[in-house]
Structure 1
Amino acid sequence: MSGIVGYIGRHSAQPVLLDCLKKLDYRGYDSAGIAVSDMKTIGVRKEKGRVEDLEASLQLEPIPAGCLGIGHTRWASHGMPTVENSHPLCDEEARFYVVHNGIIENYQQLKKFLIAQGHRLQTDTDTEVIPYLLAHYDTGNFEETVRIVIPQLKGAFALAIMAKDHPNQIIAISYDNPLIIGFGSGEAYLSSDIPALLSYTKEIYPIKNGEMAILTQTNVEIKTLSGEKILPKKTSVRWNQDELNLQDYGHYMLKEIMEQPEAIKRTLKDRLTESGVVIPEVDDFFAKRKLTDPERIIIVASGTSHHAGMIGKKILETMLDIPVEAAIASEFRCEHGRLDEKTLVIAISQSGETADTISALKEAKKSGAAVIAISNYRKSTLARKSDCVIYTHAGPELAVAATKAYTTQITALVLLSIVLAKKLHGSGEGQIPALLDALHSLADDVEKCLVMTQDAIDQFAQVTNDQEHLFLIGRGLDYVLALEGALKLQEVAYLHADAYAAGEMKHGTMALITPGVPVIALATQEHLRDKAINNIKEVKARDAYVVGITTTGDDEVSAVVDEVLYIPEAHPFLMPVLAAIPLQLLAYYAGIVRGYDVDRPRNLAKSLTVE
């Protein structure tokens, strides 16, 4: 979840490193640092806070210029966010410099060993053992020393390393943690994520598990830890720099909310046809696996992706005659039911690098289960390790709070449910024609939602300025949507927002309803509307301030709430996509009203690559 960058080439490394770090700060912004070599010495500068704080420090007190270096923006996992704990970290003699993403699970044992050998470690981090081990086992050969040390490290990690005695080299390693090489003309780049590289190159190679990359000013070599050379298969990135620019928006979160109609169109493109749904990847998967009769489906994901998975569970259960479970990825590895070759696992991750989801995937594969991934990133770890991957094509998402990832994941799940219903002759086959019609108009309906709700939500957000508590209620799919809306308000506006199944309020939660407390009541599922209205009346009887979200022309809901927001009516399975729009906008505007950085919420990072 921290961000690693590196550069080696013909130009000054410092401005490249700083620029790349700024584009990666959604991965962590507790501290930042760089190390730059001028072929004689290695200059280091680290600062607590954002990359801009590091940049200001370098302007006041420059370090020697050089044409190669490494950098880091940190999300603290071991050790407080301090300058001392910031990366790059080095050994006591400043011979080796390391930037690290991930967790060294056995660092305590390694630290005890190093201390027993007379080394005096200075920080609270797990990372520091790496440069000390490199110094302790130094053979004089940079590559050989790295090969000795890496097998001693347990965990998932990515590293970029520089050595004082080998100032013209950078060595990079990936173990179940993303690290990408970017290729330029006479230069090379390292990054934890693609967006940092797009200003410089679109030709990349994700370092695979257990591979070591040796970067010099004349060459990039990929080797196994045993020394065997590997010819990297380079790929081209489809994104362009314009997709990373804010354009006329003040924040990436708002930009990405507004991009959802186009993102959904890309998810549907070439898959939604006049006659049905075609997903060649799934066809190939079924042909190879011969999985004609899965007995159980498990959807594993974390955070917002888990909420999309909960929507998918309800859709798949309706469309198929198969038990479907939506599991939290971080719990799945330790606790799960039967897994075998008759189990289909659907793993969802925007980045494809979420550590908990990847661990769940490994657990599933170990038991012989088949895995279909839904992800936004090509060549991600999740994509590489799955039997089949459905890309959402949502485009880069740089705000920490996921928005278009959520709506495109649900869209992909709906497409998948249609394909599976056809292949497995599910009981929901009869719903497919109506669902296809709704999918054809989905992007336009989302556009209408943005137009219909943006101004009203902006005004309602003012109500949250002096509130510390807010409740969301709903039934069925609306309850799952309430969970996602609450998460967004927690992430971005730092509101104590809680979601409840509306029918459960009377079983205890009603005690929290006090006069004037804001409640958002979701009533988009027609077959549950009467019961939802009864629950709204129960809340109103306790004098709550209720905002209803329902479909256009629903006078029954509007009659029992204080304020109503209308959205277009669509197929019930797609209402969680449409109704997500006002909740995303509410979180955004509430965060703005309350004075917070909506793109970079405190204590959070975008891609959670540690467990």
Structure 2
Amino acid sequence: MCGIVGAVAGRQVQNILLEGLKRLEYRGYDSAGMSILAEEGGLSRQRALGKVAELDKKLQQAPLRGRAGIAHTRWATHGRPSEENAHPHQSGDRLAVVHNGIIENFESLRRELEGQGYTFLSETDTEVVAHLLAREYEQSRDLLQALQRAVARLEGAYALAVAHAAQPDRIVGARKGSPLIVGVGIEEAFLASDPLALLQVTDRFVYLREGDVVQLSDGGVIEVFDDAGQPIERGIEVFEHGDNAISRGNYRHFMLKEIHEQAAVIAKTLEGRLGDGHVMTHIFGSGSGSLMTDVRHIQIVACGTSYHAGMVARYWIEKLAGIPTQVEVASEYRYRDGVVPDNTLFVTLSQSGETADTLAALRHAQSHGGYLASLAICNVPGSSMVRESDLSLMTHAGPEIGVASTKAFTTQLVSLLLLTLALRYARNGDDEMQARLVGALRQLPQLINQGLALDGDIERLSSAFAEKHHALFLGRGTMFPIALEGALKLKEISYIHAEAYPAGELKHGPLALVDSDMPVIAVAPNDELVEKLKSNLQEVRARGGELFVFAEENVAISEGDGVHVLRLPAVDEVIAPLLFTLPLQLLSYHVAVLKGTDVDQPRNLAKSVTVE
């Protein structure tokens, strides 16, 4: 969602901050701004409604000069999108702050500060932070102390970066419930909400932990303090992906590039994790091998696309490992008092590892106890979710810039299948089915490339959707969550209203929607439910619905009037969800291109949902 960039350097920082904002555009935002500390002690600010390009235009006309500063892209929560509500927010003309997250007690703080004579110029919760910091600075005359005292009054989630004209050689920051990292340069230091913002200046990062406060000073001095105010060392980690990971290359959009990267990132996710005929159980962390034998129940918690991955995993785990599994939307799980069966493994799924609802669900589970252990399946090694879980498995998808998740989803599926097979191995040891599936996993990258070769056929098929306003997706078994994911992708980036149902549910209501103007998309692998699915499709066709069927090559579904069939390679039915995801991703992409929407940054959506 919102993005933060800050810098203290031995050079002009305007262009460093601006480039950082451009690299955060994928997260979703509605305005942008920047404040820079002049060496002689002044504070200059520029803000703009809309894209970072609008801020760039203003800076070209009136550059901001200085060697320290903060910048922000805002996604509206409190207050409409406007220049007045854009960050940085100031208290007077001396202190500036940028903020990700939500201050839940901002109304009471605002009343308190207004009663003390502070004037508010915006509708945001962030301006409360600015005035609170200004008040604390007047008492301490030290920006670090002012921040430490101010955050003690804040309730909610925040990542903060603060600058004060009286101390032009430093900036300070704090995090609670929203990510903030420190970039380590050569005699210079940086702040950001995402390491991608800083890859043009460094690949070395300090991942701040919950409650940390940091001070960056001239010469690259970095001081970190824990939530008790004590100095603490945080290790430096090297970012494993090159700067070209956030380039589109020869692709028109990031989403298309990321779809076509799936064979490579799946291969990387599997690398070093498969033994001779089985999955190595130690891949989840220290002690995970023995722990797998103790697991008797699984609780999976996730949001959005990750929730769909968890739904697929439920079928896998119960069928292949024989372990009862529950899957729940994180925003619901965290607000109910559930019953935890003995020896339950708590599994969270998140691309960023900072998804607010999923992280809160993890903390809720830990605070209530009763779980055997927690396992995070995530794409970001230094994220809060990984650090706060007992075990973890990295998906190795690499940076995903497109808001609509593609490669993060399929690498989550691969990781969940590894978990499934590790649980099976812990119970059964080597067996024929495990060996067969490990062999199928080894062939998966090649199979993915075969599926991606259908891109041209799917592009031609997509023209049938250009003028449609609604669509229905159908699947059975593990294909039902894949149908849900296909519907989500189509609505996310093409703005076509799309819903998904188990095909057997058609006659219980959704069939009323079917007519000649309602395209129906079905996924048809060659599994034990395929004959049932074919009967469901006949129900659609009998009512004039136009069918678009993605079918395995040996499934007997014929093309005909109102029936379009695209053939996929034969595949083991356990692996099928991964293969059948591809045409649905490509279909949504090509339909969105035809409709002229913003594929990588669809309206109203953000990449990293770090607020509730």
What range is the shorter-chain TM-score in? over 0.9
Aligned to 1:66: 66
The Cα of 1:141 is off from its aligned counterpart by: 1.6
Aligned mates of 1:505, 1:397 — CA distance in 2: 35
Task: Spell out the pairing of 1:5-16 with structure 2 (5 A cutoff).
Answer: 5-16=5-16
* 1:238 corresponds to: 240
How far apart are the structure 2 equivalents of 1:108 and 1:502? 49
Query: Deviation of residue 560 (structure 1)?
Result: 8.3
User: How far does residue 414 in structure 1 lie from its aligned partner after superposition?
Assistant: 0.6
Distance 2:182 2:377 in 1: 24
Residue of structure 1 equivalent to 2:538 = 537
Instruction: Give 1:522's aligned residue.
Output: 523
Matches of 1:478 and 1:291, distance apart in 2: 27
Equivalent of 2:286 in 284, 287, 298: 284
Contact 2:282 2:288 in 1 (8 A): no
Contact 1:87/1:99 (CA < 8 Å) preserved in 2?
Answer: yes
Q: CA deviation at 1:559?
A: 6.0
Within a 5 Å distance, the mapping from 1:202-351 to structure 2 comes to: 202-218=203-219, 219-282=221-284, 284-286=286-288, 290=291, 292-339=293-340, 342-351=343-352
Q: Please give the secondary structure, in 1, of the residue aligned with 2:169.
A: strand
1:7 and 1:190 in contact (8 A); partners too: yes
Which SS does the other structure have where 1:603 is aligned? coil
Q: State how far apart, in whole Å, the 2-side matches of 1:314 and 1:559 are.
A: 33
Of 39-48 and 398-407, deviating more is 39-48
Percent identity (aligned) = 39
Aligned pair in 2 of structure 1 residues 368, 28: CA closer, same or farther (>3 Å)?
A: same
Tell which deviates more after alignment, 439-448 or 236-245: 236-245
Residue 45 of structure 1 contacts residue 63 of structure 1 at CA under 8 Å; is this kept in 2?
no
CA contact (8 A) 1:72 1:99 kept: yes
Aligned equivalents of 1:234 and 1:167: distance in 2? 26
Deviation at 1:165, TM superposition (A): 1.6
What are the Cα deviations for residues 209-243 of structure 1, in whole angstroms up to 9, with x where unaligned? 11111111121111235442222311111110122
**TM-score, with structure 1 as normaliser:** 0.96
* TM-aligned CA distance change 1:227 to 1:336, over 3 Å: closer
Q: Which residue identity lines up with residue 105 of structure 2 in the other structure?
A: N
Cα separation, partners in 2 of 1:165 and 1:354, compared to 1, 3 Å: same
Aligned to 2:88: 88
Q: Bigger CA drift: 506-515 or 553-562?
A: 553-562
Equivalent residue number for residue 77 of structure 2? 77
Per-residue CA distance 1:501-557 (angstroms, 9 max, x = gap): 111111111111111321101111521111101111100111111110111132335
Does the Cα contact within 8 Å between 1:348 and 1:373 map onto a contact in 2?
yes
Output one character per residue of 1:61-119: Cα deviation in whole Å (capped at 9) or x when no partner: x143111111111111111111111100112x233211111111111111121122222
Structure 1 residue matching 2:126: 3-state secondary structure: coil
Partner of 1:130: 129
Stretches of structure 2 lacking an aligned partner (at least 5 in a row):
none
Partners of 1:478 and 1:275 in 2: how far apart? 26
Cα distance 1:136–1:357, how it changes in 2: closer, same or farther (>3 A)? same
Tell me the CA shift for residue 482 of structure 1: 0.6
Distance in 2, matches of 1:287 and 1:156, equals: 36
Matches within 5 A, 1:483-562: 483-556=484-557, 558=559, 562=563
Of residues 255-264 and 136-145 in structure 1, the stretch that sits farther from structure 2 once superposed is 136-145
Q: Which residue of 1 aligns with 2:399?
A: 396
Alpha-carbon separation, structure 2, partners of 1:342 and 1:525: 35
Distance in 2 (CA, whole Å) between partners of 1:468 and 1:560 is 22
> Aligned partners of 2:112, 2:561: CA distance in 1, in Å?
68
Amino acid of the structure 2 residue aligned with 1:396: P
Shift of 1:291: 6.2
Secondary structure of residue in 1 paired with 2:124: coil
Q: Distance in 2 between matches of 1:266 and 1:64?
A: 43
Q: CA deviation at 1:320?
A: 2.3
Per the alignment, residue 450 of structure 1 pairs with 452
Q: Secondary structure at the match of 1:15?
A: helix
Q: Is the 8 A contact 2:278 2:425 kept in 1?
A: no
The residue aligned with 1:422 is 425
Q: Contact (CA 8 Å) 2:400, 2:408: kept in 1 or not?
A: yes
* Distance in 2, Cα, partners of 1:256 & 1:391: 17
Q: Which amino acid is 1:422 matched to?
A: Y
Deviation at 1:478, TM superposition (A): 1.2
Question: Which residue of 2 is the match for residue 380 of structure 1?
Answer: 383
1:387 shift after superposition: 0.4
**What CA deviation, in whole Å up to 9, does each residue of 1:467-522 have, x standing for no partner?**
11111111111111110000001111111011111111111111111113211011
Q: Which residue of 2 aligns with 1:604?
A: 605
Letter in 1 for 2:460: Q
**Where does 1:142-157 land on structure 2 (aligned, <5 Å)?**
142-157=143-158
Deviations along 1:152-181, one digit per CA (max 9) or x if unpaired, are 001121000001222221001111211111
Q: Is the 8 A contact 1:533 1:557 kept in 2?
A: no
Structure 2 counterpart SS, 1:550:
strand
The whole-number CA distance in structure 1 between the counterparts of 2:8 and 2:522 is 55
In the alignment, the residues of structure 2 paired with residue 114 and residue 98 of structure 1 have an alpha-carbon distance, to the nearest angstrom, of 16
Change (3 A) 1:361 1:243: same
389 and 345 in structure 1: CA distance in 2 versus 1, 3 angstrom threshold: same
Stretches of 4+ aligned residues off by more than 3 angstroms: 285-288, 557-561
Contact 1:297 / 1:344 at 8 angstroms: preserved in 2?
Answer: yes
What CA distance in whole angstroms lies between the structure 1 residues aligned with 2:388 and 2:231? 22
* Contact 2:355 2:609 survives alignment (8 Å): yes
CA distance in 1, matches of 2:25, 2:441: 35
Contact 2:213 2:225 in 1 (8 A): yes
Give 5+ residue unaligned stretches, structure 1. none
Taking the aligned partners of 1:559 and 1:493, their CA distance within structure 2 comes to 27
TM-score by length of 2: 0.96
Matched, 1:567 2:568: yes
Cα distance in 2, alignment partners of residues 81 and 573 from structure 1: 46
Q: Helix, strand or coil for the counterpart of 1:543?
A: coil
Cα contact 2:281–2:426 (8 A) shared by 1: no
Distance across 1 between alignment mates of 2:327 and 2:560: 35
Deviations 1:286-342 (A, max 9, x none): 368x56433321111111011001001110011223210111011111125213662
Q: How many residue pairs align between the two structures?
A: 606
Q: 1:443 to 1:273 in 2, by over 3 A?
A: same
Cα distance in 2 for residues equivalent to 1:273 and 1:376: 23
In structure 2, the residue matched to 1:410 is 413
AA in 2 matched with 1:163: H
| Greater mean alpha carbon deviation, residues 488-497 or residues 566-575 | 566-575
For 1:518 and 1:335, the matched residues in 2 are separated by 38
Letter in 1 for 2:379: N
Deviations 1:543-600 (A, max 9, x none): 1111101111323354686211111121212111101111101111111100011000
Contact 1:222 1:230 in 2 (8 A): yes
Please say if residues 265 and 396 of structure 2, whose CA atoms lie closer than 8 Å, have aligned partners that are also in contact.
Answer: yes
Distance (whole Å) between structure 1 residues aligned to residue 240 and residue 154 of structure 2: 35
Q: Distance in 2 between the 1:360 and 1:312 partners?
A: 19
Which whole-Å CA distance do the structure 1 matches of 2:87 and 2:431 have between them?
A: 55
AA in 2 matched with 1:64:
L
Is residue 40 of structure 2 the alignment partner of residue 37 of structure 1? Answer: no
8 A Cα contact 1:533 1:560, kept in partner: no
CA-to-partner distance for each residue in 1:388-431, whole Å, 9 max, x for gaps? Answer: 110011111111110000100000111111111111349x9652
